[in-house]
């Protein structure tokens, strides 16, 4: 999505915040703000609107204090950070459920990180998704793969507990 915005006529720069919900589009000198705004909203499948001035000022103020906003070529960085956070959270929940020690939890986290990096790289390579809801659809398969890989180094009961805990992490799935 961000690559599409960046490629639009009249766009000098396009960035997205870490949530993927807010886009910053800088209009090139001489370009029509209204035309660029219309094309940008269309590029976002009509699912965008300009922020109210006070909301826009608040977003830009946070950016000036260090809130990261990513260009198209940088969004994979955000995917990796998100995957690492998801992996350690999943491993911690699975470890609690299975009664794992710290070393086993670290191994589960690494298995989860590898699986989540692969998922994020695939989705990023496909051009992303229009919303973060795609992750909930993908989670059951990813959780199953993580659980299967963990069974290779955990006792059967612990492997089953890890797999069950991972499956329960996103009840909306």
Predicted local confidence at residue 99, as pLDDT: 97
pLDDT of residue 173: 41
Which residues, in sequence order, are CB contacts of 93 under 8 Å at separation 6+? 165, 166, 169
- 58: tokens are 């608040």
The first and second tokens of residue 146, run together, are 């993580």
pLDDT in tens, 19-55: 888 999 999 999 999 999 999 999 988 888 899 999 9
Q: What is the pLDDT of residue 128?
A: 80
- Residue pointed to by tokens 């992750």: 135
For the whole model, what pTM was predicted? 0.79
């Amino acid at each position: 999505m961000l690559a599409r915005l960046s490629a639009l006529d009249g766009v000098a720069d396009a960035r997205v915040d870490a949530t993927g919900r807010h886009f910053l589009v800088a209009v090139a000198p001489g370009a029509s703000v209204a035309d660029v705004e219309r094309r940008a909203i269309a590029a976002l499948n009509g699912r965008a609107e300009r922020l109210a001035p006070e909301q826009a000022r608040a977003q830009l103020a946070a950016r000036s204090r260090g809130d990261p906003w990513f260009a198209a070529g940088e969004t994979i960085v955000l995917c990796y950070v998100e995957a690492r956070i998801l992996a350690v959270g999943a491993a911690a929940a699975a470890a609690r459920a299975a009664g794992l020690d710290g070393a086993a939890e670290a191994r589960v986290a690494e298995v989860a990180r590898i699986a989540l990096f692969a998922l994020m790289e695939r989705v990023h390579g496909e051009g992303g998704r229009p919303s973060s809801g795609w992750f909930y659809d993908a989670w059951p398969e990813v959780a199953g793969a993580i659980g299967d890989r963990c069974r290779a180094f955990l006792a059967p009961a612990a492997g089953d507990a890890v797999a069950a805990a991972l499956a329960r992490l996103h009840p909306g799935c």
